[in-house]
Structure 1
Amino acid sequence: MPHLIVEYSSNLSAYPEAQALAELNAAVCASPEVLDEADLKSRFVRNASFHVGTAASGRGFVHAQLRLLSGRSPEAKQDLAARVAEVLRRLTPRPAGVMVQLSVEIVDMDRPSYVKERL
């Protein structure tokens, strides 16, 4: 915990994934909600097959999901979402003629059923 999964449409081909991962991890780990930086697992998923709305082309997306163990306050969740959104807003490519939608979702993981071990 936490898990950060960033999905994006393949028409944003110049996405600086390595830079974004480094900056996202730094931003999320700077939150007082993350007690151990080694707990954050983040990754990018590039979606080659996607459709946004009903338009045939000219649209793309970036969607981040930050999964946290349950129990965070609404204010803490808002702060974490804002941290993730700021990095993605700054680094997401904006190809000419493509409207890009950015979204960030904070998801509570069920604390009693979550298993994590360091091997």
Structure 2
Amino acid sequence: MPHLTIEYSSNLPAYPEAQALAELNAAVCASPEVLDEADVKSRFVRSGSFQVGTVPADRAFVHAQLRLLSGRSPEAKQDLAGRVAEVLRRLTPRPAGVMVQLSVEIVDMDRPSYVKERL
């Protein structure tokens, strides 16, 4: 915990994944909600098969999901979502003529059933 997954459409060429991962982890770790930087696990997933809406148009998406152990306040969740959105807003490619939709979702993980070990 936390687990950060960023999914994006394949029509966003040259996404700076390595830079974004470094900046996203730094932004999330700067939150007082994260006690150990080694707990943050992030990854990108590029979606080659996708459709945005029903109208044939040049559209793309970036969706981030940050999974946290349950118990965070709404304010803490909003702060974390804002930190993630700020990095993605700056680094997401914006091809000419393509509408890009950005979204960030905070998801609670069930604390009692979560298992984590360092091996």
TM-score, structure 2 length as denominator? 0.99
- 1:46 paired residue number: 46
Q: C-alpha separation between the residues in 2 aligned to 1:13 and 1:34?
A: 32
- Superposed CA deviations along residues 12-49 of structure 1, whole A, max 9, x for unmatched, are 02100000000000000000000000000000000000
Q: C-alpha separation between the residues in 2 aligned to 1:78 and 1:67?
A: 13
1:24 equivalent to 2:21? Answer no
Any stretches of 5+ residues in structure 1 without a counterpart?
A: none
Alignment of 1:65-80 (within 5 A): 65-80=65-80
1:92 equivalent to 2:92? Answer yes
The CA deviation at 1:5 is 0.2
Counterpart secondary structure, 1:71: coil
Q: C-alpha separation between the residues in 2 aligned to 1:8 and 1:55?
A: 19
The CA deviation at 1:86 is 0.1
Equivalenced residue count is 119
Counterpart secondary structure, 1:118: coil
Q: C-alpha separation between the residues in 2 aligned to 1:76 and 1:97?
A: 36
TM-score, structure 1 length as denominator? 0.99
1:7 equivalent to 2:7? Answer yes
Counterpart secondary structure, 1:111: coil
Any stretches of 5+ residues in structure 2 without a counterpart?
A: none
Q: C-alpha separation between the residues in 2 aligned to 1:62 and 1:48?
A: 13
The CA deviation at 1:56 is 2.2
Counterpart secondary structure, 1:67: strand
How many percent identity over aligned positions?
89
Q: C-alpha separation between the residues in 2 aligned to 1:51 and 1:28?
A: 29
The CA deviation at 1:57 is 3.3
